[in-house]
Amino acid sequence: MKDAGSKRRGASRSSVNSAPAKRAKGSKSAPGTSASKAPTAKTVAPKKSASTKPERPKEATADAQATAVSELPAPSAVAVAKAPVITEHPELPTTRGKVGVFGGPKDRGIKPDDKLALPTGPHGVYERVRSLNPKSFYCAMRWNYHVQHMTPEEVKRWWANRKLAVTNSKTGKSVAARAVDYGPHENTGLDIGISPGAAEALGVEVGDEVEIALADPKSPLGPTE
């Protein structure tokens, strides 16, 4: 009896001790359990670094800015596209204005090879500005080359060596000077340019007021009575 009881007790102990081991073993291999879903870290998508971000938004912004700029109106184009004033015959740009001085070897406002705008030389040759004799009497104005029934070249030849009477408004002194060039530039605020010799004979400085008129073609160049 003692041996049989001990055998039964030993069997019950072995069954109790072996049950947890079976459950533990089954928990490792049983499919569909929570243990099989534990390694979730392996399935998480890696985060993208800042360097791998797409540049499309920046490109889109640059394209949008370029489109906006291209659609802006160009007001300067309207000013440049002004229709020229066409006159019936060649006319003086003005009969009164401010005077400037130009030409001669000492004129550093021009390049050595710059040519005059009017064909004043023999056989219609365009002389160089620095070749002008500063003691002689010449002048320049912003001539209108748009004249009816005349080409711009014909208008240039009409004005070339045309004699103008330039008078000091304060003293009444006057000189006859031949037209040789186009100018002064509008940005200077001057209306006529004359030679250093003409300015000395008139007693004027840059910016002084003078009166301008067409002179007698037969009148000699220089001071007039």
Least confident window among 29-43, 136-150, 160-174: 29-43
The confidence score (pLDDT) of residue 29 equals: 45
pLDDT per position as a tens digit, 170-185: 999 999 999 999 999 9
Residue pair 132/115 in contact by the 8 Å Cβ criterion? no
The confidence score (pLDDT) of residue 123 equals: 86
Q: Is residue 169 part of a domain?
A: yes
- The average pLDDT across 28-43 equals 48
pTM, to two decimals = 0.64
**Count of structural domains within the chain:** 1
Least confident window among 69-73, 120-124, 136-140: 69-73
| Percentage of the residues of the chain whose pLDDT score is greater than 70 | 64
Q: Is residue 188 part of a domain?
A: yes
Q: Is residue 35 part of a domain?
A: no
Q: Is residue 119 part of a domain?
A: yes
CATH number at residue 173: 2.40.40.10
- Torsion, Cα 11 13 19 20, to 10 degrees, reads -160
Cβ burial of 212 (10 Å; 0-12, 13-18, 19+) is buried
Q: How confident is the model at residue 110 (pLDDT cuts 50, 70, 90)?
A: confident
Give the Å distances, CA to CA, from 47 to 37, 39, 44, 50: 22, 18, 9, 10
The confidence score (pLDDT) of residue 69 equals: 47
Give the Å distances, CA to CA, from 60 to 41, 63, 69, 210, 217: 36, 5, 14, 61, 69
Q: Is residue 132 part of a domain?
A: yes
Domain residue limits at 192 = 96-224
The confidence score (pLDDT) of residue 111 equals: 86
Q: Is residue 219 part of a domain?
A: yes
pLDDT per position as a tens digit, 46-87: 555 555 555 555 555 555 555 554 555 555 545 556 788 999
Q: Is residue 83 part of a domain?
A: no
Q: Is residue 118 part of a domain?
A: yes
